[in-house]
């Protein structure tokens, strides 16, 4: 068969999307003079802003009369659910590894999934033009990783290519050339053509696309038989129901887009129009003798957050969708395509508990919703605790930190205070490579502290490992917060007088309300302050007293930083234009009452 299906997997920032760019250019998908920019596959606004891939995507190129379906996957651990399902469409994987950093936690995770599916690996050691790179050592480390993951003899005999995606060359040796043809030849040589079983139609839906004209489109790989336009098929769902449907239109991937066809044979990837109300993991089968494929299993979520309607005094001023029904419908729609996400009802009717893979996973969902015009309130992220053998267990993660040697002791101190245990400490060039086993709770808020302690030099990555017994209390935020006393606009006069009390999150002239967090206190404990008082103007002016107030600019926190910053009695108000932190109970007297009751219960 003249088809090769290959997924590109790697740790974040090792150069997957750049490699896809080079493959698209090398196979002449674009005209000679066409302006394409960089990171062509990262088409979503959030992906472009953050420089990360969030959704896996397909492209198809033709090289030496052979069609290569390329699947670009995310590198962040929080989007592991995307990678797990799309690997089902591939017959081989390109494992991309940075020539300096070597295998990282996410490399291990995605490689393990690929080896379990028995996919043929090709190792590409990228960025060999970087200073301090160590391609030979990295190659040995990759081999060791394969061995530790119980790879078969055949998988251990993997071909290796070296090169630089940025400079546009890949070769089977360290000799620099001016193209990536050796790698494309390697894909055709080493990746097997799709294995096609005899029998009637079977196709598993592994991802979905959406078009405002055609509605929901099912995407997957035809694993046996063939699928034709206007054919009657059976949709077999995870709960055992079988529905008869008709295929309206069929598309295969071509370049960056799709091409309409009348029939797709086994082994190729295709998009099917006309199959509504499907879920990822369902099977499209022959109408007369339907057989289902095994349902895709995705790792469980490790974190949850409470999503509820915005109940602040500024409710409804900013967003289009503000009711609990809007919120529920949007979250349920998200679970259809976001496999690692779960949504359940909370005890009170207005809130929903959303389970995800980590802070970034949930943060991207909230950011997407606010851009669509939703207003909501989200609580502090909590880890999911399980009872195993009558004992309380919590999720643990493997944390890897690469940091200049002079900061290593600070990093070790920060992590051990959060109940982390050091497993590995080794020197890589001028950097110290540290590996820890740490409870997932300990990671919340760690990144900000780590970057402050290392002047932004630390490179941090983590990956869920397993559930282990509960480790006890982990210290949270050290400092309290300053809360607004009144609802009004802040004034420069008040903020100037309060600057020695804390670091402000608001500028003069911003609307605030009672109970909103406006600054971080310099001491533990919260303080209610009046930041809305204006200067009393009199007829007498003393010389020098009207000098311009010198106010430090406000500290800007991103959504993820706010999620890591808040404590259990605080929440975040998210609207299309504002992100405000606040107390769950806005009234000061009410908060004191609740605090008294809690203290009495604990005593």
| Binding-site annotation, residues for GTP | 13-18, 126-129
Structure tokens at 507: 């500028």
Closest CA to 322 of 310, 305, 334: 310
Q: Angle CA(482)–CA(488)–CA(489) in degrees, nearest 5? A: 85
Residues 219, 208: contact at Cβ < 8 Å?
yes
Classify the phi-psi angles of 164: left when phi > 0, otherwise alpha if psi is within -120 to 50, otherwise beta: beta
Task: Report CA torsion sign: 106, 107, 110, 112.
Answer: negative
Residues 555, 505: contact at Cβ < 8 Å?
yes
- Binding-site residue numbers are 13-18, 126-129
Structure tokens at 472: 């006890």
Q: How far apart are CA 414 and CA 419, in angstroms?
A: 9
Closest CA to 394 of 487, 307, 474: 474
Structure tokens at 115: 């080896």
Q: What burial class does residue 477 get, using C-beta atoms within 10 Å of its C-beta: 0-12 exposed, 13-18 middle, 19+ buried?
A: middle
Q: What burial class does residue 132 get, using C-beta atoms within 10 Å of its C-beta: 0-12 exposed, 13-18 middle, 19+ buried?
A: exposed
Q: How far apart are CA 4 and CA 60, in angstroms?
A: 10
What's phi and psi for 4, nearest 5 deg?
Answer: -130, 130
In sequence order, what are the residues at sequence separation of 6 or more whose Cβ sits closer than 8 angstroms to the Cβ of residue 410? 453, 454
In sequence order, what are the residues at sequence separation of 6 or more whose Cβ sits closer than 8 angstroms to the Cβ of residue 14? 75, 96, 97, 98, 101, 104, 107, 126, 127
Structure tokens at 127: 């960025």
Classify the phi-psi angles of 416: left when phi > 0, otherwise alpha if psi is within -120 to 50, otherwise beta: alpha
271: which strand partners?
219, 251
Q: Angle CA(555)–CA(397)–CA(344) in degrees, nearest 5? A: 80
Structure tokens at 157: 């005999």
């Amino acid at each position: 068969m003249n088809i090769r299906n290959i997924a590109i997997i790697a740790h974040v920032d090792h150069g997957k999307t750049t490699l896809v760019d080079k493959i698209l250019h090398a196979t002449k998908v674009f005209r000679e003079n066409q302006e394409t920019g960089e990171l062509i596959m990262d088409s979503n606004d959030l992906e472009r802003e953050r420089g990360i891939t969030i959704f896996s995507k397909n492209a198809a190129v033709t090289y030496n009369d052979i069609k290569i379906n390329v699947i670009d996957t995310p590198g962040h651990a929080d989007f592991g659910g995307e990678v797990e399902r799309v690997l089902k469409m591939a017959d081989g994987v390109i494992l991309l590894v940075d020539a300096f950093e070597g295998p990282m936690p996410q490399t291990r995770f995605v490689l393990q999934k690929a080896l379990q599916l028995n996919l043929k690996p090709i190792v590409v050691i990228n960025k060999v033009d970087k200073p301090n790179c160590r391609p030979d050592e990295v190659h040995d480390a990759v081999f060791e990783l394969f061995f530790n993951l119980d790879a078969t003899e055949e998988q251990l005999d993997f071909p290796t290519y070296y090169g630089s995606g940025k400079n546009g060359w890949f070769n089977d040796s360290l000799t620099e050339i001016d193209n990536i043809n050796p790698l494309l030849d390697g894909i055709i040589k080493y990746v097997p053509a799709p294995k096609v079983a005899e029998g009637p139609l079977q196709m598993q839906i592994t991802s979905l696309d959406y078009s405002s004209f055609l509605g929901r489109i099912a995407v997957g790989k035809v694993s046996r038989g063939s699928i034709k336009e206007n054919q009657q098929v059976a949709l077999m769902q995870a709960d055992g129901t079988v529905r008869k449907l008709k295929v309206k239109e069929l598309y295969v991937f071509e370049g960056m887009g799709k091409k309409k066809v009348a029939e797709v044979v086994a082994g190729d990837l295709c998009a099917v129009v006309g199959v509504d109300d499907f879920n990822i993991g369902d099977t499209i089968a022959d109408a007369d003798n339907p057989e289902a494929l095994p349902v895709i299993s995705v790792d469980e979520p490790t974190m949850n957050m409470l999503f509820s309607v915005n109940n602040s005094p500024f409710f409804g001023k900013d967003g289009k969708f503000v009711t609990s029904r809007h919120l529920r419908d949007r979250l349920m729609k998200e679970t259809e395509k976001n496999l690692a996400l779960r949504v359940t009802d909370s005890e009170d009717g207005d809130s929903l508990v959303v389970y995800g893979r980590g802070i970034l996973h949930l943060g991207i969902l909230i950011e997407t919703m606010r851009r669509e015009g939703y207003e909501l309130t989200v609580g502090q992220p909590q880890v999911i605790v399980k009872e195993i053998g009558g004992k309380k267990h919590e999720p643990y993660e493997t944390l890897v930190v690469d940091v200049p040697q002079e900061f290593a002791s600070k990093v070790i101190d920060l992590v051990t205070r959060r109940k982390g245990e050091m497993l590995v400490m080794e020197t890589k060039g001028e950097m110290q490579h540290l590996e820890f086993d740490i409870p997932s709770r300990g990671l919340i808020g760690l990144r900000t502290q780590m970057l402050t302690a290392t002047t932004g030099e630390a490179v941090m990555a983590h990956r869920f490992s397993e559930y282990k017994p509960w480790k006890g209390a982990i210290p949270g935020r050290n400092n309290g917060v300053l809360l607004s006393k009144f609802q009004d606009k802040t004034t420069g006069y008040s903020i100037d007088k309060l600057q020695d009390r804390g670091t402000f999150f608001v500028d003069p002239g911003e609307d605030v309300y009672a109970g909103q967090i406006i600054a971080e206190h310099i001491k533990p404990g919260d303080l209610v302050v009046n930041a809305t008082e204006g200067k009393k103007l009199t007829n007498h002016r003393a010389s020098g007293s009207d000098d311009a107030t010198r106010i430090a600019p406000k500290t800007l926190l991103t959504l993820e930083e706010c999620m890591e910053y808040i404590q259990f009695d605080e929440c975040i108000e998210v609207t299309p234009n504002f992100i405000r932190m606040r107390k769950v109970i806005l009234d000061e007297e009410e908060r004191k009452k609740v605090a008294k009751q809690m203290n009495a219960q604990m005593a």
